[in-house]
Structure 1
């Protein structure tokens, strides 16, 4: 295709938009792309547009850059749509933490499972339905590349509520996990071969090798040698603790991973032992606002911006589809037999081949039983949240919270229903009307 049109939905997430643009313009074949930026916040949209022009100039790109408050205008004729919205922004995120905290419920990031994940999904679904309808009408052949969390819930909802089929959810957790393990084991990342699969933020490194060497053996030796030396740094990470007990390394940070199981956040001793930062995402929200304001002010003053690539998957996918260059990325897609012992309708994270024909997921077979057991609980909760929205059934919100491992470990069922009522009241204006009902305990 000539001069592909790439539309950013939520381009006001300026720092993330900058990184993606730096990755895109690093490819010679994409330097003349049409970049259409959409956001509903005028100031943020103006900042994103100015940053895009700066990055294009810095990297020698002859891109056409347009900015649109009207989403439909931005989508018309798009070849690729990158969704990076956060509905409710920092205000809604603070609500996701503050109300559960009053009930004694601890969260670290709150964007994937748990009460935070449930309500982030429910306030995002109306946006996804409208976005899907616009894509079906205005750019039906476009690939929708979703970065918005909760990833698995959002991709499942898109499939069930919009009928779009050219959708893939993208996350950098697998890539950075392998980079971090390579650094830890002092092996060049470029020489490591690996295979991972599972669900987003709870996938598993199934194979990890350097040539003929199984790097899991080296990781075991490192953990053992640290213990012999009287040190506890590795064993004080949730993901290492999970690896020791499950036999496979999880592909998400300790902060995230602690929220998806019932074993850690409910126990003061485990929070101390594993150094878990309760409420950490609130600090990240403030850092993101500060980073945005720094970028805005630098552009207004005519000061140079740092232009750095991020190795994100969306630019790689776009380059492969445009040029036919084959590469493998990790994507979140409907299961449909990719992982035998997980629900077919759930969204799984697997390696995907990308070339001119699009994104083609790899069949994995069965996961080890202990891994599939945890992933099934994750996907069961996801499905109940999607059911709540698709079926207009507010009871399923409570069923999802009851099914969530960390919530169920911390609260009796009556308190879970009361908490859901409080969250519904707080987020009511962002929920579809049928889900605004309070049901009592």
Structure 2
């Protein structure tokens, strides 16, 4: 029996290549069909060429097809991998340039904050249409979402589309532990860890090697190394007692303590607008791939240990493994809102994705996560209830925005971004409300 995997937004060629390199490394998946979808025909053709090249390099022979029509690509899918970015680099630049005129600093701008709010709002109409298509043409498929803002998107999908087989996947927990294992000089395979919280602001609740807690060693290392202390994550670890699972650049945006202060930007070496450089690098890498395919030159085929291929392999073959997934908090973390989306370890096997109940987080960690989830909920409420005032309420509740701007300017900024993104927002949210 064949397994069909549909990539929506396959024109994000760099990420598609990484996922396929991981997926094609499994020799026991059996007969597989890869369906690539994108609305950009040139990018789709590049993704198709890259997919065929990677399959040849891995020595596998899946059926690989490409579609500009989404419903055709989804027909009969067992898994749908969503990697769409609505508006691409142009919209991202708007999310940085307009707030910058108000003095509002961002580093990545894709999770919460003003950038996360508007990335979500322009993604929601697409997610609703995708959910409707999945319900009609592949209702039993698992939707594996990579598109940010992860927690907002997964909450919206589950509330607005009725889909239940939805899990958001992010590599931050894995790469955090990978980096700490290197820093501490212990083999990654021997590290025992558990993390939980919300996407990009989860916490390492357990970090051990051979039965010993690694946190005292990590704290001692930071005490000895002044450069380590000039990282946001180590600053948060020192004050909160637990290490966050996303980079310092990301982590700085989710709290009110850092970006608003020139001295902290300098002390912690925060790269303002960093994501704009990443966008340019992704475009350059795509162009390099396109030119290589046109010239029949070799491509680099490297796996990245992403979770989506692991989830697909476990469900198809019954191989049990644990991944970190973003799912609705239905009793998983006691002291976070039930309607929020949390990131927890999930067992995956032939029966699907089964989240692990964590219990209560340490109170200082839950307090930060609740602020994050409260802002998320206001953005989702804006879309589900067609209430444009909730966009402003979300910005008012966002820690970094509220630390920087008075409320009148927050409303003005939201009006400016609504104007800039109006054609991508659902009609009821295009209202200009004034300050």
Give the TM-score range, shorter chain.
over 0.9
Q: Report if aligned partners of 1:335, 1:347 keep a CA contact under 8 Å in 2.
A: yes
- Note if 1:109 corresponds to 2:108: yes
Report the 3-state secondary structure (helix = DSSP H, G, I; strand = E; otherwise coil) of the residue aligned with 2:93: helix
- Asked if the contact 1:24–1:31 (Cα under 8 Å) also holds between the matched residues in 2, the reply is no
| CA deviations over 1:12-40 (Å, ceiling 9, x no partner) | 00010001001000001236310000000
Cα distance in 1 for partners of 2:253, 2:156 equals 22
Aligned residues: 435
Residue 346 of structure 2, aligned match among 344, 347, 352? 352
Aligned twin of 1:245:
239
Matching residue of 1:229: none
* Alpha-carbon distance between aligned partners in 1 of 2:25 and 2:2, rounded to the nearest angstrom: 15
TM-score by length of 1: 0.98
13-22 or 31-40, which deviates more: 31-40
Q: In structure 2, what is the equivalent of residue 138 of structure 1? A: 137
Structure 1 stretch displaced more, 216-225 or 137-146: 216-225
Corresponding residue for residue 14 of structure 2: 15
Map of 2:272 onto structure 1: 278
Whether contact under 8 Å (2:2, 2:33) holds in the other structure is yes
| TM-score after normalising by structure 2 | 1.00
Q: Where does residue 375 of structure 1 map in the other structure?
A: 369
Q: Give the match for residue 171 of structure 1.
A: 170
* Alpha-carbon distance in 2 for matches of 1:233, 1:257: 17
Which residue in 2 is equivalent to 1:53?
52
- Partners in 1 of 2:257 and 2:221 — Cα distance? 25
For residues 277-323 of structure 1, what are the alpha-carbon distances to aligned partners after superposition, in whole Å with 9 as ceiling and x for unaligned? 00000000000000000000000000010100010000000000000
Q: Which of 314, 336, 349 is matched with 2:330 structurally?
A: 336
SS of match in other structure, 1:169: strand
Query: Structure 1 CA distance, aligned partners of 2:121 and 2:29?
Result: 35
Query: CA RMSD of the aligned region, Å?
Result: 0.5
Deviations 1:410-438 (A, max 9, x none): 00000000000000000000000000000
Provide the residue aligned with 2:205 in structure 1. 206
| Uncovered stretches (5+) of structure 2, i.e. residues with no partner | none
The equivalent position to 2:320 in structure 1, one of 320, 323, 326, is 326
8 Å contact kept, 2:223–2:229:
no
Kept in 1: contact 2:29–2:317 (CA 8 A): no
- Off by >6 Å, runs of 4+ in structure 1: none
Distance (whole Å) between structure 2 residues aligned to residue 32 and residue 52 of structure 1: 16
Give 3-state SS (helix, strand or coil) of 1:126's partner.
helix
Deviation for aligned residue 1:221: 1.5
- The answer for the alignment partner of 1:385 in structure 2 is 379
Contact 2:158–2:164 (CA<8 Å) still a contact in 1?
A: yes
Asked if the contact 1:31–1:60 (Cα under 8 Å) also holds between the matched residues in 2, the reply is: no
Gaps of 5+ in 1: 227-231
